[in-house]
Every structure is written in structure tokens, then in C-alpha cells.
Structure 1
Amino acid sequence: MKALGKVITDIDLNEPVSEDTIKQIKKDVHEHILLIFKNQGIISGQRHVEISKWFGDLESTFYKHPRSPDPDVFRVSNDEAEGCTNVGRTGWHIDGSFMTEPFTFSLYHMVAIPKSGDTAFVPLTGLIESLRPDVRARWERLYMVSDRRLRLQHPLIYPHPVTKKPTLCFHLGMTDAFVWDAGTDQERMTEWPETKQILTEIHQEIEKDNRQLIYSHQWEKGDFIISDNLAVGHEATPETQYPVSDVGLRILHRTTVKGTSKPTKS
């Protein structure tokens, strides 16, 4: 595994988990960004929600597919009869970047395993620290705008609210504009050509140098992942939307934990 993640094989999430173990899991997810629990079998929607509530209240902003096992479980698939399709294919992102307080954690469970169809992750602190000084200095001046009408602005780079490490609030497929030097006399909002140029630059920085920072998770039966959503970007690979006839049925369940703080420079 590259740069991030811890594989856990000695905890059965379908069984009761002690308070001490839950406390350690909460600590580990901030340290390792991804916790990958192996050999979990099928975790029910109800149990998925119970595990998610270890981390806080859930917040669901997505379409409720008729086959979702719980209102707080987002069900995605490569078959529209089984779940929402084309999810995660609009570009690298964190979940909830369009909200005043982005989600703190995302929890994933693959219910039906296709032959191929990874979820790719990139550690955001590592990405920032890999930037040339001049590139980082420019990114430090940027705020993302997910909806011009709402004028909601988040700093592109800001300290993680728990670890205080530098991280990103971004979505390469849901950004209307950027603002340079917000709150100063030089404040200026970008138009689309410049916005697109910045989005392209972020994408290229993530995928440069043979994608050395990226971990592409090849799902196996029974995998359950807990992610520090504010510390890791992710994207579904193209294979996730290949036809069922080519790769088999893919069904992924996801929950998101309500944000508790607005991204801020201070």
C-alpha cells in the first residue's frame, strides 16, 4: 500500500465492539486516514449505520435509491435498477465540499463485488507537501466556490480540524469558480477559463510522477473502509461503471458523518 492506510484483520464489525476498541479505531483513522477492515462478510445497512454513529451524527444529502437498505445509506452501482450510477466519476474530491461543514468521515462497504472497479485515494497532506513552493503559495491564496449563487467559499488549503495538518477542501467536478485572496483588497473571482485551468492543475498534481501518492483499492469480498474524509481525496475508477455483462454487478454502500466545523485558515 502506498502512503496511507492500515489493514485490519482481527476485528469482526458484525459482532459487538468494545468501547476501548472503538476509541482506538477513532484514533487510528486520523493517523492512517484509511482503515481497511478485511473479511467482514456482508454488513447490513442497519449495522453500517450503527458503526457510522461511533463517529457522530449522520448526514445524507444524496438521492435515496429505492433499494437502499436504510435512509442514511447511499447505494451506488453500475446498474441503475440496483443503485445510483456514475457516482464518484466527476473528478477527485472530498465528500461534502459543497456544504458549510464538509463531512468528517465516509464509510464504505462493497456488497456486490465486480471483477474490476477500484476506488482510488490520495492523501491530501502528502499532496500538499509534494508541491513546488511556488505552486503551494498560489494554492494558499485560493478559495473554492461550489455554487456562485450561494457564494459559499472554502479555502483550498487549510489545517485539518483535528490533526492540524494541511489539507484540501476541493471537488474537481463541482467547482463553479475560485476566489483569489478572499477578504483582501485583491479579492477576485475567476471566470470559467481560469477556473478550468486551476482544476486541471490540481488534477495534474495529483496524478503526476506515475501517481506515486495514489492508492487504488481493489475491492475484495467483505471489505469495509472507514476514511477520514477531510484528509483524503478519492475518485471512482472508470471500471466502476463498466456494464454488468463485462465486470459483474457492483453495489457499494456509503454513509457520511455530519461535519462539525467550517474549513478555515485559522
Structure 2
Amino acid sequence: MGQTSEDTTRNKAPTIPSLDPDRVSLIEEAGLTLKQLEPLGVKIYGADVRSDLPEPIIEALEQEMANRGFIVFKHQRDLSPEELINASKWWGAREIHSTHGIHPATPDRNRHIFRCSNNSRYGILGVGPQWHNDGSFEAATFSHSAYYMARAPEHGGGTHFAHQGAGFDALPKEKQDFWQRLVSVNSASCVTHPVVHTHPISGRKSVWLHLGMTGAVLERLPEYGLSIEELQTLPATADNLRLLTPDEMKQLFNDYNDLLNESFEKGYGIRYHYDTGDLLFIDNWAVAHRASPEAHMPAEQQGLRIMDRVTIKARQNLAPHFGLPTYINMNGPHPFNKDGVWQTGGVGFRWKDDIRMQN
């Protein structure tokens, strides 16, 4: 029986797997207690991250991070910089990958800690107001990030998370097909990333787009009779690539922003509120995030907020499809359609004028 028009446009319901019972048993045998958050995330009680976890436990938790987006070790007050960094080395390539500046209030002026705050005396102001993934200007985009709440404010100031695999599932079929043929080019570093990638641990197709540092998006034109998977393995040329135009870029960026904004109502997003001593690790290839609006309120209104971030090296590049190179030089002429967007510089393409970008 052939497909109906409704069948071809219907998208799968967004799904986030529950905790795996076998992994839960293994982790609990080590003395930890897990609490599944809804619809994503996991809280962990009974751990002291100052002591190394056994390798099988680390592997099980990394798998759960890939499936459910993030984990939170509760009650980890007064971690030293070395203790925070050592715990961060459990994931990804087991190395820290730091690209940020150092605020004067950073503990021990440690170069691997990016200190954020709502008071300029204590950290960098205004970080991450829009949806993003950390380190999108890198070829090997950070596999994981640590967020350590050294001091939680009295009145909110959390982080929003959206599951990018479930986000892909929520797209209509025609947009799934279109987005899988797109590759973004970072306006600052010229690095290329697929707009849809397959997560290396979970195996899920996941959306990926930097809303603040993208200078171009290339479309691999479809070819009759070839599936998306077949297209992705074939080398692209200037004849079967085109740049999205300004109107198409605005549509794509607004659609992506709307997709993540809708995650809270459609069951693949969460607004997480921190307690002092929370150590939260995200799988940076599985979830996008942004600071809540309250996180940027002055300390006089919400209380002082101090968060330390550590970023972890990935085992591999987030490589584009279609045989495209890891970097495309945006500083010279391009062989694509002249009505397409090709914009260099750190601010990237401005898809909306009334929002602030600082990631």
C-alpha cells in the first residue's frame, strides 16, 4: 500500500528514553542513587566527585548523558578548581579543552575555569542568552561541559535545556529531509558542521545550529532516486551546492529557535533550577542550552549567582557530510550563487534584530 500525503509529512513524536534498568543497577551497586527528571536529565545522590568513579560507572553515566542530555551530581559544595577539573576529565576524550578568557575572580586564576556571574566583580556577565552549544567554533566541538553552581541565587537563575535528538523527531518530514542536506559555516572560525548529525553514542539524528556565529549555510541539492544517506556519502561540488538566501536563512534560524522554544510544551525541554553545590554535566552533542532570563538579573534583585564552566575535548570532529572540508575560507570569493548569504565576522548572520547574542 502506498503512502498517503499525511503519512509523508507526519513526524515522529519526540521521545527521550527512560533510564536503562541494567545501568541503574550497576550505578546503584556503587552506592549512588539516581532520580530521573522529566522529560530529560538525571539527578545523582550519594556521590563525592572528589573521588574517582570506577570506569564501568563512568561509561554507564556517559551513556545516560547521551540519551537523557545531562546529569547532576547533588551536594558537591566547595569543590576546588583541581577537583572540578578532575571530575570533568571523566568524559569525552578525557581532556580539558579551554578556549575562554579568565576573569580576575576565577579561583586560582585557573585557565580551565570560565567563571560566570550576575555581578561583574565575581564573573563574566550576560553569558549564553540564546540557544547554543558550547564551542561551536571548533571542529571537534566540546563533547561535554560542566556547570558548577558555586553559589545559587535566592530567586531563580537556572539553565534551559532542549534535547536535539527529540527536536529532530519533532520536525515535519519535509524539514527533516531539507535540514539533513544543510551544512553551516561558522562566521568566526570558518569551521563547518552538519545541521543534522548522528550522535556518536546514542546513534540518534540530532539537530545542530549556532544562532549567533553562523555566516553561511550550504544546501546539498537533492538528486532524483538518491536517499539522504546516499547523498551524504557522495562528494559535493560547486554545481550541486547552493547558499541559502537571506530570507531562507531567516526562516531556518527562526524555525530552529521555535523548535527549541517549543521543547518545554512538547516534552523535550526542561527549565533546570540549581542549588548551591550542583555539579551538572551536559552531553554537548545531545542538548542545546541557554541561560534563563533570570540568570542575567542584577544580583541586587535575585541574589548573587556564581557559576564555573569547564569544557571537555571531543573524541572526534563534528564533521560535515557530502565530503565537504572541515574549514571553508570565508575571507575570499566563493563559487556559489551570488544571492546567497556569505558573511564573515564573529557576529555572523543577523537573523533577528531585537535579541541579544552573547554566547
Q: TM-score, normalised by structure 1?
A: 0.92
Alpha-carbon separation, structure 2, partners of 1:262 and 1:209: 27
What is the match of residue 67 of structure 1? 105
Distance 2:43 2:303 in 1: 26
Larger-Rg structure: 2
**Which residue number in structure 1 is paired with residue 70 of structure 2?**
34
- Note if 1:122 corresponds to 2:162: yes
For the pair 1:189 / 2:243, whether they are aligned, the reply is: yes
- For the 8 Å contact 1:177–1:189, the answer to whether it is kept is yes
Instruction: Answer yes or no: is 1:104 the counterpart of 2:143.
Output: yes
Equivalent of 1:44 in 47, 60, 80: 80
Q: Where in structure 2 are there 5+ consecutive unaligned residues? A: 1-36, 222-235, 323-359
1:184-263, aligned counterparts within 5 Å? 184=237, 185-208=239-262, 211-212=265-266, 213-263=268-318
**How much is the aligned-residue C-alpha RMSD, in angstroms?**
2.0
Q: Is the 8 A contact 2:147 2:307 kept in 1?
A: yes
The SS at the match of 1:176 is strand
Q: In the alignment, what sits opposite 2:230?
A: none
Question: Aligned-pair distance for 1:178?
Answer: 1.1
Q: Distance in 2 between matches of 1:154 and 1:68?
A: 32
Shift of 1:48: 0.6
Letter in 2 for 1:218: H
Aligned residue pair count: 264
Structure 1 residues 154-193: aligned runs within 5 Å: 154-181=193-220, 183-184=236-237, 185-193=239-247
Q: CA deviation at 1:227?
A: 1.1
Give ranges in structure 1 of 5+ residues lacking alignment.
Answer: none
| Highest RCO, 1 vs 2 (Cα 8 Å, sep ≥ 6) | 1
Instruction: Provide the identity percentage.
Output: 30
Contact 2:101-2:111 at 8 Å conserved across structures:
no
C-alpha offsets along residues 212-262 of structure 1, whole Å, 9 cap, x if unaligned? 321110111221111111111101111111011100111111111112222
- Label 1:23 to 1:150 Cα distance change in 2 as closer, same or farther (>3 A): closer
Deviation of residue 24 (structure 1)?
3.3
Contact kept in structure 2, 1:117 and 1:237, CA below 8 Å: yes
Partner of 1:142: 182
Q: Is the 8 A contact 2:164 2:288 kept in 1?
A: yes
| 1:78 and 2:118 aligned | yes
